[in-house]
Chains A and B, each alone.
Chain A
Amino acid sequence: MKNITCECGHVNPEGTVLCEACGKPIEGNQHINGNQPNKLLNMRYDGSARRSQTYNKTFVDKIWNFFSSVKVGVWLIALTLIASAIGTIFPQEANNQSPLPANQYYEQNYGIAGKIYYQLGFHDLYGSWWYMLLVASIGISLVIASLDRFVPLYRALKKQKPKRHETFLTKQRLFGQADQATEEDKEALVQGLKKQRYKVYEQDGHILAEKGRFARWGPYVNHIGLIIFLIGTLLRFVPAMYIDESMWVREGETKQIPGTDRQYYIKNEDFFVETYDKDDPRYQEAIEEQGGTVVKNYQTNAVLYERTDEALPGSEPELKKIKEGAIQVNRPIKVDQFALYQTTYQLDEFKTMTFKIHEKSDEDEKELDTFTVDLVDPKPEYNLENGIRITVDNYFPEFEMQNGEPTSVSKYPKNPAFVFNIFTPDNPDKPEVSFVGIGANLDPSGENQYKVGLKDFETRDVTGLTITKDLTLPILGLGGLIFMIGVIQGMYWNHRRIWIHPREEGVWIAGHTNKNWFGIKRDLEKIVEGTNVPMVTDQNELKE
């Protein structure tokens, strides 16, 4: 390491642009900040030695310096933005609402562009390795770039001396010469500075007045917030911290809640959708404008249970009721750290069907008796009055004809159909066969004496719930808060410095702020008021 000793006696680290103590431009390093002989000094990072380019020796240093570069950081952010934008062109896999697997869906719907989209991983953007690497690189860049700038800047501001080199002062944007200024004027200036709540430091008659230095830490506080936020999102991969599951529960059904390790169960007592009353004068106009019906409420009345035994999966658990209540959109029911949200529903799935039996020849279809079949778990046999016995020969919950054969395509009673055997007292051994479904009633033999017909049915609704547990929220909140504090710190306060430099005759005054030049000029105007010191000039304005 080659340190640079300034003429003021201060030893600066290599790569320093302006001496940390007196601000004198260090020869040979001016290109780093793009300083030119006849122009004002570039004051960024106070001319401190940021990442030492000269330590580009080991592999570790090379990686470090890569991430330390703001240019690299900006590129990483730009690439992430572009990738995120491209990710919105076609729907993400999680939201495409298609039963097709992703490898077919994108090509079928969007052709060659869709195929490329899928192959590059844009269909699952947040899960694709390269996107994650980009975000991770931004995180690393934040940490390293901040460290590499915060440390030298902190050092430079801490080591700064009130006595500044004259070149430094003349090359400040705000600069003025007051040759007639007396000692009294100087004292008046100091008092004025103190009145403006500047901290005043003195060294051999040289004055440094400074306020709002902490505003300079704003960006770094902000970055700490971002890093905490990123750590929070990282923790979402830990199941103990974050769960996002979904489930269907039919009315009357009790089911274990996924993600809770079989600890909690939920019963759907009732699900309903409420709409606004069309005849209510308050809503009438709005509803007409909207057209159709307007939903007011989606609600599941639920009971929550906790398992109290060590039941094996599959067996009936012992349950203890712990909670009862309504789940509405955005009003979840909560248990432990889990929240159950209303997300979707299906109305009117068949629950029971009631059939009547009558003589086929009877034109009035006078019912002899009725029987009700539970469509989830039908009984095999129904004994009716008049000595009629009906057995269920076959049951198809979701009936469909496939290759000329009656089959069921699922276990859910969406389109129930039955093959009944009807045993009559006259014919106890040879049953009549009858096929009954929705909109279908067949007599395969054509010789049946009795007919079974659908009389009534009951339906039930199915509620779709989302189960979430998110312990990362406080971390994300903390990150966000610190981020905002950093923004406020850097935005609403300015770091202002004013130097008073005694000369053989009078004084020189120079001023610098990291932002809001109007503010510091106003401070200076108040300070020079009533003294022989003329207002400083803004050397930027002079040139124009």
Chain B
Amino acid sequence: MANKTNKKKKRLIFRSVMLTVMLAAVAFALYSNFTEDKKDILQVGDEAPNFKLKTINVEDKEALTLDHFEGKGVMLNFWADYCPPCKEEMPYMQQLYPEYKKKGVEILAVNLDQGELVVENFIDTHDLTFPIVQDKSGQVMELYDVGSLPATYFIGPDGEIEHKVIGALTLDKIEGYLQEITPES
């Protein structure tokens, strides 16, 4: 009889192990499938990846890196000349820039046009003073998974992404987010 209960026990263990292994494989497949589209996407709470881009309007600097602003809050705005809502929020950013720069918040705009001419034209007409860099190859756009424009990341002083906003921002909203990423003095 002992032999039989033993056999029964063995069978139960065998079946449980087989089923667990197979269920684990199924769970892996389902999980991978549903996270596949999302796993590369930057999430709020992730560390903002570093990059290096050519500047357009910063005197004496050829290129800027994101870690150049370490310890500051950074509003990282992706825009292009062919995107009307992008151009609408630019003046708001300019309006808030001098005040928040003093508080330790930087605004960095990444332009996605191909040439510099249209960008320079736009900077001149709107007297933009915050740094604007250009991502001609679209690498940083891809890195930050920017699909539709405008897209804005608000990065805290610790380098963590606090907010991601797709679509146009109002003056009030920008100010609200900027306050959140202002370093404590």
Q: A: which residues have CB within 8 A of B?
A: 1, 55, 58, 60-61, 63-64, 127, 129, 132-133, 136, 139-140, 143-144, 147, 231, 234, 237-238, 255-256, 258, 262, 311-315, 374, 376-380, 392-395, 397-398, 402, 407-412
Contacts and interface: CB of A to CB of B under 8 A. Distances in A.
A392 B117 contact: yes
A64 B80 contact: no
Contacts of B142: 258
Interface in B94-116: 112-116
Contacts of B8: 1, 55
B12 A377 contact: no
24 contacts: A1-B7, A58-B12, A60-B12, A61-B12, A129-B33, A136-B22, A139-B22, A147-B18, A231-B25, A234-B29, A237-B29, A313-B50, A313-B52, A314-B53, A315-B53, A315-B63, A374-B115, A376-B114, A395-B118, A402-B84, A407-B82, A409-B82, A410-B82, A411-B114
Contacts of A374: 115
Contacts of B140: 313-314
Given A315-B51, A411-B81, 12 more contacts: A63-B19, A132-B26, A136-B22, A143-B22, A234-B28, A234-B29, A255-B137, A314-B135, A376-B115, A395-B115, A395-B121, A412-B114
A313 B139 contact: yes
B139 A314 contact: yes
B18 A411 contact: no
A60 B16 CA distance: 6
Interface of B: 4, 7-8, 11-12, 15-16, 18-19, 22, 25-26, 28-30, 32-34, 36, 49-53, 63, 65, 80-82, 84, 112-118, 120-121, 133, 135, 137, 139-140, 142-143
A298 to B, nearest CB: 25
A366 to B, nearest CB: 29
A86 B81 CA distance: 45
Contact of B117 (A127, A395, A412): A395
Contact of B30 (A63, A132, A312): A132
Given A315-B63, A377-B116, A411-B82, A136 B29 contact: yes
A407 B86 CA distance: 13
A138 B51 CA distance: 47
Nearest to B115: A377
B30 A378 contact: no
Contacts of A136: 22, 25-26, 29
Contacts of A256: 137, 139
A407 B55 CA distance: 24
A198 B148 CA distance: 74
Given A61-B12, A140-B22, A397 B51 contact: no
Among A312, A314, A394, A410, which residue has the most Cβ atoms of chain B within 10 A? Answer: A314
Q: Mostly helix, strand, loop or mixed at chain B's interface?
A: helix
B32 A314 contact: no
Contact of A314 (B18, B36, B52, B120): B52
B120 A397 contact: no
A234 B33 CA distance: 10
A94 B117 CA distance: 37
A412 B63 CA distance: 24
A188 to B, nearest CB: 46
A55 B15 CA distance: 12
Given A1-B8, A380-B120, A395-B118, A133 B82 contact: no
A376 B11 CA distance: 71
A313 B143 contact: yes
A237 B19 contact: no
B26 A133 contact: yes
Contacts of A255: 137
Contacts of A380: 117, 120
Contact of A237 (B33, B50, B116): B33
Nearest to A312: B52
B28 A237 contact: yes
Given A60-B16, A139-B22, A394 B33 contact: no
A143 B135 contact: no
A398 B12 CA distance: 69
A313 to B, nearest CB: 4
B123 to A, nearest CB: 13
A223 to B, nearest CB: 14
Contacts of B22: 136, 139-140, 143
A312 B29 contact: no
A183 to B, nearest CB: 44
B11 A408 contact: no
Contacts of B115: 374, 376-378, 395
Among B4, B80, B81, which residue has the most Cβ atoms of chain A within 10 A? Answer: B81
A61 B15 CA distance: 7
Contacts of B143: 313-314
A55 B11 contact: yes
A140 B33 CA distance: 19
A133 B49 CA distance: 36
Contacts of A312: 50-52, 65
B80 A411 contact: yes
B117 A60 contact: no
A313 B113 contact: no
B82 A397 contact: yes
Contacts of B133: 314
Contact of B29 (A58, A64, A132, A313): A132
A230 to B, nearest CB: 9
Contacts of B121: 393-395
Contacts of A129: 30, 33-34
